[in-house]
Amino acid sequence: MLNLKKRLNQKGGAGLITIVIILIVLMLIGGGAVVYFTIKDQNIEFSQEVIDEATALAQEELNKAFELTEKFTFEERFEAIQSIGYTEPEEGEFAIFTSEKIYEDEENIDYYVILKIKPHEQYEYLTRIAVSIFDTEHGALIVELENILKWQKELDQKAS
């Protein structure tokens, strides 16, 4: 105990402790803010009209993706996704490729669309696809639809 008192009495010891305490308090405040805003974003409720509109948009995006599978091969899937207005896919964890698209509606309802492509576990020419529609203003998820795409094989393309 005597050793600790000597250390505190040395020059700079009290200032260091004060700085450490301030940093700890700021980290606690920052952590609390992250938790608060995460919970706040999850509690956003959308009207049934907005949910229906977002679901229709997600289904439309899935339909566009299905149309691409008839024109493009499995190897060309990323170029195909870009051809319908998505950004170049970024590879994520576990080979999940994510592309983004922003819809600006005429009724001032902005949607942010994320399309994720993940290879199927068993079949080479199948990919899992997920279309997520987010509200741009709040960043909250409105709806998400998933399905599986069957791409053409290279041999199928040559036979056509």
Residues 31 and 54 occupy one common structural domain? no
Does one domain contain both 33 and 58? no
User: In this predicted structure, what is the pLDDT of residue 22?
Assistant: 95
Instruction: Give residue 124's pLDDT.
Output: 80
Query: Which regions in the chain score pLDDT beneath 70?
Result: 1-13, 40-43, 92-94, 105-109, 155-160
Q: Does 121 lie in the same domain as 80?
A: yes
Take residue 10 and report the two structure tokens written for it.
């040395």
- Which of 42, 57, 73 terminates a domain? The answer is 42
- Total domain count, the chain: 2
Do 147 and 128 fall into the same domain?
yes
Residues 24 and 97 in one domain: no
Give the pLDDT score at 11. 59
Q: Which stretches does DSSP call E strand in the chain?
A: 90-91, 97-104, 110-119, 126-135, 141-150
What pLDDT was estimated at residue 153? 79
72 and 6 together in one domain:
no
* 92 and 13 part of one domain: no
> Domain range spanning residue 15?
2-42
CA distance 117 to 92: 10
3-state DSSP helix/strand/coil % of the chain, to nearest 5: 50, 25, 25
d(CA 112, CA 134): 5
- Helix or strand or coil: residue 108? coil
State both tokens at 145.
């639809």
135 and 154 in a common domain:
yes
Same domain, yes or no: 143 and 107: yes
Instruction: Determine how many CB atoms are found less than 10 A away from the CB of residue 111.
Output: 20
Contacts of 86 (CB under 8 A, 6+ apart): 99, 100, 101, 113, 115
Residue 73 is predicted with a pLDDT of 85
Helix/strand/coil for 43: coil
131 and 74 in a common domain: yes
Assess whether 114 and 87 both reside in one domain. yes
> Same domain for 33 and 109?
no
Q: Is 151 helix (H, G, I), strand (E, B) or coil?
A: coil
Residues near 128 by beta carbon (within 8 Å), at least 6 away in sequence: 117, 118, 119, 120, 146, 147, 148, 149
